[in-house]
Amino acid sequence: MDIDLARAWVQAIAAAVGQHKDHLTQLDSAIGDADHGVNMQRGFSAVTTALDGIEPDTVGALLVKTGTTLISSVGGASGPLYGGAFRAIGKMLDPTATTQQLAAALAAGLDSQNLGAAAPGDKTMIDAYTPALAAFQQQADAGSDLAAAALAAADAAEDGMCATTPMQARKGRASYLGARSIGHPDPGSASTALIFRALAETAAAR
């Protein structure tokens, strides 16, 4: 991954979030505050504006700036969660990054998701991120290129998102609903799946 690809990835996330804003909000209206789509769009719109005004000298600097902007512009828990992940990813990357290095950076991003101490099965973004990382790492270990690793990660993230539907939420606002949270996909896992799909599509286009 180089700076141009990293910038294209973030721009693709912003476009995907804008396209799916209403869907994310509908998901959140069922088990949350009905603001996830709006918050994510506001955050990535702010990121796009922030990146338009700078020329970062490394991939890491670009992704750290992305994370910092998300933290300052996204409301609720999503800002620290998504922003913290991008900051952690960026801090692990050199001026360019191999697929193996990006796998390690994505792992650091997952490790940063300790707000609320969520674990797989709690019906959160972790349920999409964890299988995505595992799939990406498996492809990286096998010597696959970024496009193949990102595609596997995107597919796994979407499967993980779908798997949240029958879960009962154990963390976040959705947990207050108890059994009523069953039957609805987690909105955070849905937006996480969009992020990994954006990476796959961006890498495939290179």
Residue 116, pLDDT score? 57
* pLDDT tens digits for range 121-141: 999 999 999 999 999 999 999
Domain boundaries, the chain: 3-205
Evaluate if residue 75 carries a pLDDT over 80: no
Secondary structure letter of residue 168 according to DSSP: P
Give pairs for 165-168: CB < 8 Å, separation 24+. Answer: 167/121, 167/122, 167/123, 167/127, 168/123
**Measured distance CA(149)–CA(99) in Å, rounded:** 8
Query: Is 0.85 surpassed by the pTM of this model?
Result: yes
* pLDDT tens digits for range 155-195: 999 999 999 999 999 988 888 888 988 999 999 999 999 99
The architecture that CATH gives domain 3-205 is Alpha Horseshoe (1.25)
Exposure of 5 in the CB half-sphere (CA atoms within 13 A): 21
